[in-house]
Amino acid sequence: MAKNGFSISIEMKTFLFIFFFLFANVKFFAQQTVTGTVTDGGTGEALIGAVVISDNGKVAAACDVNGNYKMNLANGDHVLQVKFVGYSCDSVVVHVQGKPVIQNFSCSNSSMKEVIIVSDVAIDRKTPVAFSNVGELKIQEEGGSRDMTMLLNSTPGAYASEQGGGAGDSRINIRGVDQRNIGVMVDGVPMNDMENGQVYWANWDGLMDATRTIQVQRGLGASRLAISSVGGTINILTKGIDQQQSFTVRTDFGSNNMQKMYFGFNSGEFHNGWGVTLAGSRRTGNGYADQTWDDEYAYFFKVQKRMGAHLFTWSVNGAPQMHAQRYDKLSAAVYDKKYAQSLGINVDSVYASNAYTTSTQQDRGLRYNPNWGNFTYRDGQHGILSQDINFYHKPLFNFSYFWTPNEKFTLSAVSYVSIGNGGGTNFNQTPTRDTLTGQLNLTSVYNTNSSTIDALYSSTEHKSTRYLQAGMNNHKWAGTLVTATWAPTSDLTVLLGVDARYYNGIHYGKVYDLVGGDYYGEANPTDANQPRGTFLGDPNFQYYKKQVGSKVGYYNESFVNWLGGFTQAEYSKKNWSAFLTCSASQTHYQRLDHFKKQDIVLDDGTVVPMIVGYNEVYYTNGTQSGVAQNGATVTTSGDTTFINNPGNNDYTIVNAKSYSWNGDHARTARTEKKTYPGFTIKGGANYNLDEHYNIFFNTGYMQLAPRFNTVFDNNNRLYPNIKNQEITAFEMGFGARFGKFAANLNGYYTYWKNKAPQNSPTLTTPDGKFTYDLNGLNTLLKGVELDFNYQPIEHLQLEGLLSIGDWKYFSRGTVYLYDANYVLVDTINYSAMNIHMGDAAQTQVGAALRWEPLKGFYIKPRFTYFSRYYSNFDPILLSEVKDFAGTVVSDYRDRESWKMPAYGLFDINAGYEIKENVDKEKNRYVKVGFNIGVTNLLDSKYISDSMNGSGFNADTALVYFGPGRRWNAGMRFVF
């Protein structure tokens, strides 16, 4: 019995153990994991900190930095909701039974709805274009002290460079297209310069601090405006009242004495509908290259008011800044001898024939900047002066109104004003260079200017021969954008809009620094309307003395008026979405020149252009005409006028009528208004194959008006043979979305006809400077792009990209050379067939890892590799050159450019954040964060920019080296 009892006892214990084990874990086995992602329905951004709750709060899970959540739920049906300030999400019922469940949420808010309407924001798995989002978290973790553009190297097809290294001097290419042909918008307002399409990132230094997301659309993109978006569109969306209330204080410091202080405040939306967002910062530093210091302020202020169906927004932002630049590109041998030798450069030849170093001094180092110098004052004090200083302030004032009376109709109106003032400096005559240091010999300049007395101008003041002249590029810019959106059915949305802009650019040279002197004596004034003296003691000679602030060299204005209209239809039903966009615009150009001779408008309205200068009179009888020059003797006898000019250029005119240079019939010299039409038609479709896969296609045709700076020359004359640019584009893409993995693959084909030159087309030869036409330049841009994001485990995320481009010129023809009077003087046959374009790397590979081993602590290494990078060049150099006897001297037709060495950059960022939930109902936290980042951790030597020389090789190329290792660290407090 005992043995049997013992046996029964064991069996009973075993049974009870198994019973209790199964009972205790039946709930575990009856549970399944529910995961998903919570995103902004407009931008696709992760909603960090959003809370997913089940069954009115029985189970809750917060979203991580990628918007992912995870919770365990028992088998059965459950109601899931998302709670996040300013957002609304539809509740869903999930059925849990036997396997894991994936449930994603796409949330919306009314503020973002208006932003999407204005800013042409693409939506994942709906808008059929290739795009990438750079969210607020990535900006915070990787932005550091760099320009905003450098963040975009982590998007496919992008190449950003800091060029000479000055703060804000960066540039960006997308798919081989420079930023003049990339549409840049801030909250729907176009930012590209109205004259040349450029974007000057120094003017927006503080904008990154107020940015909620940057969306990069590649190709023609989803923009409805007739903007120059050949390469893509960069949409910058700023923070607003739809976000949580917070106050942020941050301090950053880093390499080269970089220091930055920042504060920001976002009120969120108060109960009465008001909200305020504001930010301010101050940054200073010495720069990586020698004497590329910067001193920058930035401010951002936005006020919003919601009144039922109405939303009003007022904002202003700007960044008054001043920074020194490294302007000159040099031979690689000047920077680094060993590196140059590895490229096959004959360094001895370079050292023997350049102005920046000698065979004795040899290389100057990667930080070498030739654009500054030391000088010693007469009292023995020392000073440093940079030759190239950029200074600018461009506040942007913005007023927006949105009206959403019902779910089917929305009206938006955005009006903006931008007033820019500033420019860049350079010496009017290049100073000599100290052969020992390689710097400008400014002591000689200072000593000469501070000791020269020229009695022709003054017996007491000192005359400057060399001085710093500032090229001023002020502007007044205003515009309005009105969009009406109507959804007659749940599947169809129709948009109509008007885009109107006015731009007035004011350009002139002015005396910036006299470098020891009291005035500059302008011996040959370029202002034809300036009072002139010809002999010593002439009372008007005072006008030849130019003080600091005086206009010198040139003074002209540009006027650009733009009127455009657009319409778009969007269709979305079940798995299909499609759009068709049409836009048209008229661009009006006119140029004024205050320094050229005055126009005369005759009684019958006939304009005689640029005919009279200071103290000159135009005489005409309708058939004969002549000008009485300054100092001429004019006599009349009966009905006959006799004009005796100082240069013996005499006239005799019967029944002449006179028109004085300062009379009612005189006006500032100006061109006639020229009008150029442009239009765009594009469309595309997206099909969601299932909940994981989608495919899309888009195509478009665009005609762009020529740029202002390629329409008129500096003498108010129209360039010959002006043509519109024509762009034809096709693109296909494939997307995959899973709980832990997302990827995009797309291919593109863009044919760009009549690509405009970057600047006014001129060619300097031994016989002089000539204007030429180069409207027939054609390019073909094609390639494939891949990007993916994978999260194998909860706190580990991997992202990667691959971009392979094939960007080439396919153009040959005849260039016609014209003299100053636009008389044809010569022709040049050029050929750039199947030649790679320069200025951007055509292969890009990148990968990044974000690991959070401890709660609040992350580490993020990133590697980016660029190759197949060709030196930039002027296609007109690809020609056959003959001497006067007709013998071929050189033949560079179809000559490939120098291919620069490939390079890779390894960056690393890390940070730690401590946060405490102080308001669980509103999900508000107090946060203290620390971060540190190192760019180019391995201190790699690489060439970031290059311009081809006459030899199409490394020997003659002029380059910028990219910056070496730099670090930055910061601390922030958010509550």
Q: Write the burial class of residue 344 (CB in 10 Å: 0-12 exposed, 13-18 middle, 19+ buried).
A: exposed
Using the structure block, give the residue that is written with the tokens 């709670």: 83
Burial class (CB in 10 A: 0-12, 13-18, 19+), 18: exposed
Distance CA 674, CA 560 (A): 10
Residue 334 is predicted with a pLDDT of: 97
CA distance 573 to 568: 17
Residue with the two structure tokens 């087309």? 761
Residue listed under structure tokens 């997301």: 213
Q: Which residues pair with 627 in a beta bridge?
A: 618
SS3 content of the chain, % helix, strand, coil (to 5): 10, 55, 35
Q: Which of 203, 282, 213, 217 is nearest to 242 (CA)?
A: 213
Alpha-carbon distance values, 201 to 148, 235, 434 (Å): 8, 14, 33
| Residue 913 contacts residue 927 (beta carbons within 8 Å) | yes
Q: Could you tell me the pTM of the whole model?
A: 0.87
| Contacts of 584 by beta carbon, 8 Å cutoff, 6+ apart | 226, 564, 565, 566, 677, 678, 679, 680
Which SS3 state, helix, strand or coil, does residue 378 take?
coil
* CB neighbourhood size of 738 (10 A): 13
Alpha carbon 971 to its chain centroid, in Å, reads 28
Question: Distance (Å, rounded) from C-alpha 286 to C-alpha 166?
Answer: 9
pLDDT score for 537: 44
The number of beta carbons lying within 10 Å of the beta carbon of residue 649 is 12
Backbone angles phi, psi at 488, to 5 degrees: -65, -30
Cβ atoms of 620 and 601 within 8 Å: the answer is: no
What 3-state DSSP class applies to 376?
Answer: strand
- Exposure string for 133-157, b = 16+ CB within 10 A, e = fewer: bbbbbbbbbbbbbbbbbbbbbbbbb
- Asked if residues 589 and 582 have their Cβ atoms less than 8 Å apart, the reply is no
Judge contact between 195 and 560, C-beta under 8 A.
yes
CA–CA dist 904, 936 (Å, integer): 9
Is 906 buried (19+), middle (13-18) or exposed (0-12) by CB count in 10 A? middle
DSSP secondary structure letters along 872-898 = B--GGGSBEEE-TTS-EEEE-TTPPPP
**What are the C-alpha distances in Å from 781 to residues 96, 318, 752, 808?**
49, 35, 8, 7
Q: What's the one-letter identity of residue 260?
A: K
* Burial bucket for residue 849 (CB in 10 Å: 0-12, 13-18, 19+): middle
Please check whether residue 189 is in contact with residue 204, taking contact to mean a CB–CB distance below 8 angstroms: no
| Helix or strand run (H / E) with residue 744 | strand 741-753
Grouped pLDDT means (10 residues each) for the chain, 975 residues: 43 47 43 83 70 80 78 87 73 83 77 56 89 91 89 96 94 95 89 91 86 92 84 89 81 95 89 89 95 95 91 94 96 97 96 94 96 82 90 95 91 95 96 94 93 90 96 97 94 95 97 95 91 63 90 97 96 95 96 97 95 96 93 93 90 95 96 95 96 95 91 86 91 92 96 81 68 79 97 92 97 80 79 94 97 94 98 85 77 93 97 84 81 97 95 94 96 92
Quick check: 206 and 279 in contact, CB under 8 A? yes
Contact 669, 592 (CB under 8 A): yes
Q: From CA 40, how far away is CA 47, in angstroms rounded?
A: 6
Pair 823, 799: CB distance under 8 Å = no
d(CA 725, CA 311): 39
SS3 964: coil
Instruction: Kindly state the helix (H) or strand (E) to which residue 384 belongs, with its residue range.
Output: strand 382-386
Per-position b or e across 961-972, b if 16+ CB within 10 A of its CB = bbbbebbbbbeb
Q: Give the pLDDT score at 8.
A: 42
Half-sphere exposure in the Cβ direction for 724 (13 Å, CA): 17
With tokens 């013996």, the residue in question is 648
Cα separation values, 938 from 319, 343, 861, 907, Å: 33, 21, 12, 8
Beta strands in 428-491 (DSSP E): 463-464, 468-486
**Where is 815: in which H helix or E strand?**
strand 796-818
Residues 401 and 451: beta-carbon distance below 8 Å: no
Residue 136 has phi, psi (to 5 degrees) of -60, -35
* Distance, C-alpha 553 to centroid of its chain: 29
Place of tokens 């029985």: 58
Q: 431-436: long-range contacts (C-beta < 8 A, 24 or more apart)?
A: 431/373, 431/466, 433/355, 433/356, 433/370, 434/373, 435/358, 435/361, 436/361
Q: Whole-angstrom Cα distance, residue 510 to residue 512?
A: 6
142 contacts 148 by C-beta, under 8 angstroms: no
Long-range contacts of 265-273 (CB under 8 A, 24+ apart): 266/239, 266/241, 267/241, 268/85, 268/86, 268/241, 268/243, 268/244, 269/86, 269/241, 269/242, 269/304, 269/306, 273/305, 273/306, 273/307
CA dist 659 and 612 (Å) reads 9
- At 401 the pLDDT is 93
Which residues, in sequence order, are bridge partners of residue 62? 51
How far is it, in rounded angstroms, from Cα 684 to Cα 689? Answer: 16
End-to-end Cα, the chain, rounded Å: 74
DSSP collapsed to 3 states, 559-605: EEEEEEEEEEEEEEECCEEEEEEEEEEEEEEEEEECCCCEEEECCCC
Beta strands in 487-550 (DSSP E): 492-513, 519-521, 545-546
Looking up tokens 């050229």, which residue turns up?
Answer: 596
List of residues 6+ apart from 134 with CB closer than 8 A? 151, 152, 154, 155, 213, 214, 215, 216
| Residues 578/683, Cβ–Cβ less than 8 Å | yes
Q: Say how far apart CA 574 and CA 220 lie, in whole Å.
A: 26
Torsion of CA 748, 753, 757, 758, to 10 degrees: -30
Report yes or no: 681 and 226 within 8 Å, Cβ to Cβ.
Answer: no
For 723, residues 6+ apart whose C-beta sits below 8 A from its C-beta are 706, 754, 775
